[in-house]
Every structure is written in structure tokens, then in C-alpha cells.
Structure 1
Amino acid sequence: MANQGVIRPATPADYPALYRICLETADAGSDARALYSDPDYPGQRFAVPYARFAPDFAFVLERDGEVQGYVVATPDTRAFEAQLQAEWWPQLQEKYRDRSASAPLDSKVLDAIRHPDQAADTLVTQWPAHLHINLLPSAQKGGWGRRMIEHELAALRAAGVSGVHLGVSLQNEQVCAFYARLGFTPILRSNAIYMGQLL
């Protein structure tokens, strides 16, 4: 029974779990609690805005009554960037206006909030959607990662999306083999390893 679980749509009640899982996997898949002075920092960038602004593409893995993973996506990266520019980053810029970095990775998130970057044109031309997935170590066996990606790809296909990309941390390159088995191919390598799949 330990492997019983359900992939279901994320709700606002799941936001605390999204923040927690994002933090506990934010160091190239490992626990990053020691690397951020505020436990919400990684989730403010990589998890919760997706659940809030693209809820049709935000799913969680619930096992034994606990959310142990998530996969989030936006079907249109450019439209999503514009929406965050209008409705998400300004709130956080105000909230963290007087914050300065005090832990090793704080500046990465604070800089991204203050000066949001945009995906490369190369990525969004053929692969307009993008996704993020994170699973706690307890959920990383048993095929859950594959099932969650497949669940997300099906949702994107059903919405008529033509292609999706994702980024892999340069420190986490070994996970590229997992994505390759799911049909993703390398696109470019810069601040991360980007892989894409046409849908």
C-alpha cells in the first residue's frame, strides 16, 4: 500500500506544500533549507505562481495523506511572463523591498524577482510551454516522476499546445537521461540544460 498515491489538480490549500517541496528540492534536487534565509523564496519563483496563474496545468502527488511532489506548467511562456510582470512580481518586489541576501542562494531569487528574466526566443518559438517538476526523495521511486510528466503532457496536448521545454540545473545533469526516456531532446545549454518535446 505504501506506493498508493493520486495525482490531482493543485488547489490554493496546497500552496504551503508547494513552497516546502520546492525548498527541499531546490539544490539541484537536494534539500536547500540551509541555502535560503526565507523558506518561501524558491517557491515564489518556481512553483506557486504556476499554481496561481495556470491552475489547469498544476498537479500534485498525494500519498499517505501528504503532498509529496508537484508538476506545474504554463501553456504559453510569453503570456505567462507578461502576466507575472503585471500581477506577481510587483507584489513580491514590494514585499521584499528591504530584503538583502543573507544566505548563499538568496540573491538568485531576489534578483529574479527584482529583474525577472525572459525565456530565450529559441526556446519559445518551437516549445512555447514550459514545466517544472519536483518530488520529495520519498516519492522519487515507483515511477511517480514519469506518471506526473505524462499527466502534464496530456493536459498540455489537450489544450492544443505544440511543444514544451524544461530546464535542468547544470549540477543535476544526470537527470537528463530520465527526460530523454520520456521523449525530451536537448535544445541548448546556457545557465541550465534546456530540453524540449514537440506535442
Structure 2
Amino acid sequence: MIEGKYHLRPLAGRDIDALYAISLATGLSGGDASALYDDPTLMGAIYSVPYAVLSPETAFVAEDRSGVAGYVIGALDTLAFEAQLEATWWPRLRGNYAEPPRATQTLWTADERRIAQIYHPRRTPLTVAEAFPSHVHINLLPRAQRQGIGTALLSIWFERVRTLGASGIHAGVNPGNSGALAFWQARGMTCLPPISETTVWLGGAIEYLG
């Protein structure tokens, strides 16, 4: 419990709907993206729910009386996880959505841009995944922010992946999400090449992170 209010626990199957909701509510550089999407499940289907299915042993949630207010997810072996996505997760989703035509890319809606990611997923740069093989994501709803909950969730996650043999950890952050960038830097991660318009990569050896 955090200040007697939040319960931190392993993610369970009943939390899937919460992952979809939180991913959407934090999907605009940490802010609410619900006004952008006709399909409210797309953000979660890409960024959070695959972990509940493919790597539940490295997924934890923070829950209060109103429900799940945040989560930490990740994978011990990024390259193996991305291979699993390509083998099982993305094909399933591709069966639900038609690929947007490239000829109209400049006119794509937010939904179509995410659907295009399902057909052409962004891969972690090999230099990042080889130097820091494990990766982590954390998302909190506004009501759970600035209370130490993110730090507490991350502590549990670090403890779990240490027992599984993790060495280096990386995270990817939207360049517009200054709060997330500061969060990871405060925990010992440093910025890594390559630099892109869509992602700032950060990483660190697990023994120095906290």
C-alpha cells in the first residue's frame, strides 16, 4: 500500500480493460488522447495489452478504490518479445483492420496512423536492445501521479526482472513528454543514440537504477 490508498499487485486478466483505458488516457504525450481516436482500443492494443498476454510475469498495477490507476510493464528480452509480437500478436490484429493506403498517408486519421503501426511496427534499434536487453513502460492516470506510486511500481518491477536475470534496461519516450523524460533520468537512465523525431531512448545498467 502507498499512503494507505494504493495497492500494488501483479497484473491479472481482469485488468485488461484498464490497460486499454489508461493507454488512451495517457496517449497524447502523457495527456488524454481520447478525442483523437474513433477506436479507443488502438493505443492499448499497441502499447500495453500485448504485455498482459505475452509477458504477464513482468507486469504490475496500482489500484485504489476507483480501480486500476496505473501500471508498469516490460519484457526481459526485447528482441525475443518483438519476435513474439510478429509471430502472434500483430497477425491477430491485422485480421481486424485493413492496412491504410500509402497513397493517402498525408490525410491519415489518428486511427489510420496507429493501424499502419500494426502493419509496420516500430522496432527497437539493435544498438539499444543489445546494450540494454530489457525494456519497461510505466503509465499513471493523473489521480495517481506525483505520489510516489510510479517509483514504487518501478521498484517492484526492477526486483522482479533482477530475479529473472536482467542486466541493462531501456525505455522509449515521446520527445514531447518532458515529464516522462525527467522521470527516467531521475532514476539513473541516460539518453542513448539514435535520436529520432518519434522516440528518445534511455538506458542504464540495472545495478545503477533505482
Residue equivalent to 2:29: 28
Residue equivalent to 2:110: 105
2:20 is the alignment partner of 1:15: no
Report the alpha carbon displacement of residue 108 of structure 1 after superposing the two structures with TM. Answer: 2.9
1:43-70 Cα distance to aligned partner (Å, 9 max, x none): 0011000111000001111012510001
2:49 is the alignment partner of 1:42: no
Structure 1's consecutive aligned runs of 4 or more residues displaced over 4 angstroms after TM superposition are 98-104
Residue equivalent to 1:185: 190
The one-letter amino acid of 2:8's match is I
The one-letter amino acid of 1:96's match is Y
2:165 is the alignment partner of 1:160: yes
SS at match of 2:191: strand
Work out the CA distance in 2 between the residues paired with 1:36 and 1:98. Answer: 16
SS at match of 1:35: coil
Matches within 5 A, 1:29-178: 29-97=30-98, 104-178=109-183
The one-letter amino acid of 2:27's match is A
Q: CA RMSD in A?
A: 2.0
Check whether the contact 1:187–1:195 (CA below 8 A) recurs between aligned residues: yes
SS at match of 1:60: strand
Taking a change above 3 Å as real, the CA distance of residues 145 and 104 of structure 1, as seen in their structure-2 partners, is farther
Report the alpha carbon displacement of residue 3 of structure 1 after superposing the two structures with TM. Answer: 5.3
Work out the CA distance in 2 between the residues paired with 1:2 and 1:124. Answer: 36
Taking a change above 3 Å as real, the CA distance of residues 149 and 34 of structure 1, as seen in their structure-2 partners, is same
Task: Tell me the TM-score normalized by structure 1.
Answer: 0.93
1:61-103 Cα distance to aligned partner (Å, 9 max, x none): 1012510001100111111111111111011000112778998
Matched-pair identity in %: 38
Unaligned regions of 5+ residues in structure 1, if any? none
SS at match of 1:142: coil
Task: Tell me the TM-score normalized by structure 2.
Answer: 0.88
